[in-house]
């Protein structure tokens, strides 16, 4: 399990629009050409095939591929195809332009997610073409592949992600190294080039291919890091950009893990309060349950056993959205009172992309490859072990896993990372709306303010959503109406506005 940034929320939420109040800002319309005015060299849109493991999106959607340099340092060298999907604006006479989406991960497939999520963006679709893409190294864009299903299952069953003995620790680190070696063996050509900076450059190539003078973009979770990187590289091309559920651009590998220990513990305590339980006592009870499962995994009706890592993943999954809290309650009641782990295992499988036939999707492969291409940090097992006591104080439930994860994720990774922290400063860019939710578990609220500060004065516009869950658009009527007014009318909320 890797919790930071995984695309959990496929924007299936809906919310009633409220009356908007905002300050009219000088946001230029980002469009330059209509989709039916495409000139030579622009994409050839065709009916979409069903993505792997998915269903055909339907008649309203069209797909294409845009070729970009594999290595931007060699613009005339080999190319890579970036997969796109589009649904045209429903009011073509009032069309503003294209709106590009990234729903998170890293590793989430926009070609797969956007058609399923589009119901939440119907109002924006009246005047924008909705466009999703698979970033390089993801799904239809030369998706990274590192392990087969059997190897994934063996690791899921056999590797203790919070090792307690030297033998478990050695197996944990070796498994991380083996995963990286598999990526190099099966996806070695693309592996050195899948970082966020190159994906941001691809976004500008997509903008040009779509015929838009400025980029309109909606980034969620990891998509906010991608959006901040784009704004830094191409401030003059920023149109109307919204960043929701924001990744802290000032945090390094350990900082992200520490942020998430804080964020998930905060969400867990809010969940326990909602159940009428004392948060401190509830946390102790849950940590003790995980300790027992570590020594004696729970049986399930499938014959598989629920180990500590799978149980923890099952607890994490429903914390992403308040609407999923009842599922967590049911699964915990089963584990604690019946001594079986079916509910938590089902939640963990959903998170891990495992279907009932034992087939795993490859989002975690892409996520790992992109994350490790981005960061130079390669903490050792000894360094991770030293973090555990402090992380356990932050969160007795999530802290130990997140401390160890700093070492296992990119252990002996075959590609050198790009930076310690991403650059997001964007002097001269148009106003960018940055939204933080106070109870967000995966990208804690504090990171949104840091992103707004990093973007710079007059660029980062902070909007606070007082609520629970990972992301706010579609869940908060106030946020949804403000975002709609920003995208459709160019109205930028006052910096520091709060939706409660």
Residues annotated as part of the active site? 221, 440, 470
Task: Write down the H helix ranges in 300-398.
Answer: 308-316, 325-333, 342-352, 363-374, 381-394
Q: Which candidate, 243, 230, 246, places its Cα nearest to that of 198?
A: 230
CA-CA distance, 377 to 314, in Å (whole number)?
Answer: 28
CA-CA distance, 256 to 20, in Å (whole number)?
Answer: 34
Length of the chain: 500
Q: What are phi and psi of 224, to 5 degrees?
A: -75, -35
Label residue 63 left, alpha or beta by phi (over 0 means left) and psi (-120 to 50 means alpha).
beta
Q: How large is the C-alpha radius of gyration of the chain? A: 22
Cβ-based neighbours of 449, under 8 Å, separated by 6 or more = 434, 436, 462
Q: What are phi and psi of 431, to 5 degrees?
A: -55, 135
How do strand 61-69 and strand 79-87 relate by DSSP bridges? antiparallel
* Number of CB atoms found within 10 A of residue 3's CB: 25
Q: In this structure, are residues 441 and 221 in contact, taking their beta carbons and an 8 Å threshold? A: no
DSSP summary character for residue 240: E
Cβ-based neighbours of 404, under 8 Å, separated by 6 or more = 161, 162, 163, 172, 384, 385, 388
CA-CA distance, 481 to 475, in Å (whole number)?
Answer: 11
CA-CA distance, 352 to 153, in Å (whole number)?
Answer: 11
Helix/strand/coil percentages in the chain, nearest 5: 45, 15, 40
SS (H, E, C) 213-228: CCEEEEEECHHHHHHH
Burial 26-43 (b: 16+ CB within 10 A, else e): ebebbbebebeeeeeebb
How do strand 79-87 and strand 128-133 relate by DSSP bridges? antiparallel
Q: In this structure, are residues 397 and 283 in contact, taking their beta carbons and an 8 Å threshold? A: yes
Burial class (CB in 10 A: 0-12, 13-18, 19+), 335: buried
Alpha carbon distances (Å) from 81 to 70, 138, 142: 9, 11, 7
Task: Write down the H helix ranges in 160-296.
Answer: 166-187, 196-210, 222-233, 253-274, 279-295
């Amino acid at each position: 399990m890797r919790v930071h940034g995984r695309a959990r929320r496929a924007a299936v939420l809906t919310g009633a629009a409220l009356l908007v109040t905002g300050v009219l800002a000088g946001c230029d319309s980002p469009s330059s050409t209509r989709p039916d005015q495409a000139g030579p060299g622009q994409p050839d849109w065709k009916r979409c095939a069903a993505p792997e493991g998915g269903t055909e999106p339907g008649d309203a959607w069209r797909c294409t591929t845009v070729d970009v340099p594999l290595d931007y340092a060699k613009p005339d060298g080999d190319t890579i195809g970036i997969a796109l999907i589009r649904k045209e604006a429903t009011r073509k006479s009032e069309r503003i332009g294209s709106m590009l989406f990234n729903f998170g991960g890293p590793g989430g497939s926009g070609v797969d997610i956007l058609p399923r999520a589009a119901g939440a963006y119907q109002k924006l679709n009246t005047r924008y073409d909705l466009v999703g893409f698979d970033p390089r190294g993801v799904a239809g864009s030369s998706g990274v592949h590192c392990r087969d299903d059997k190897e994934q299952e063996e690791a899921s069953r056999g590797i203790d992600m919070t090792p307690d003995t030297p033998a478990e620790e050695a197996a944990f680190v070796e498994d991380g190294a083996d995963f990286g070696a598999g990526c190099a063996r099966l996806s070695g050509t693309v592996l050195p080039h899948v970082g966020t900076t190159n994906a941001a450059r691809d976004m500008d190539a997509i903008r040009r291919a779509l015929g838009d003078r400025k980029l309109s973009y909606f980034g969620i979770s990891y998509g906010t890091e991608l959006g901040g990187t784009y704004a830094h590289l191409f401030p003059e091309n920023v149109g109307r950009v919204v960043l929701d559920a924001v990744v802290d651009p000032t945090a390094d590998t350990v900082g992200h893990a520490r942020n998430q220990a804080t964020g998930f513990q905060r969400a867990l305590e809010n969940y326990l309060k909602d159940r009428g339980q004392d948060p401190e006592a509830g946390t102790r009870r849950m940590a003790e349950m995980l300790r027992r499962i570590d020594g004696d995994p729970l049986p399930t009706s499938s014959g598989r056993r629920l180990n500590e890592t799978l149980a923890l993943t099952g607890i994490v999954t429903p914390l992403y959205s308040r609407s999923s809290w009842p599922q967590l309650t049911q699964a915990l009641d089963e584990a604690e009172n019946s001594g079986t782990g079916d509910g938590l295992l089902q939640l963990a499988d959903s998170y891990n992309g495992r279907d009932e036939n034992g087939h795993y999707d490859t989002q975690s492969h892409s996520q790992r490859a992109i994350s490790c291409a981005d960061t130079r940090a390669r903490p050792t097992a000894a360094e991770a072990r030293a973090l555990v006591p402090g992380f356990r104080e932050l969160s007795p439930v999530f802290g130990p896993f997140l401390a160890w994860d700093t070492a296992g994720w990119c252990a002996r990774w075959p590609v050198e990372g790009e930076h310690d922290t991403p650059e997001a400063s964007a002097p001269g860019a148009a106003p960018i709306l940055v939204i933080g939710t106070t109870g967000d578990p995966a990208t804690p609220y504090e990171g949104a303010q840091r992103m707004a500060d990093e973007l710079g004065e007059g660029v980062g516009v902070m909007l606070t959503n007082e609520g629970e869950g990972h992301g706010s658009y579609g869940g908060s009527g106030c946020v949804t109406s403000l975002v709609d007014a920003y995208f459709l009318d160019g109205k930028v909320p006052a910096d520091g506005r709060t939706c409660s």
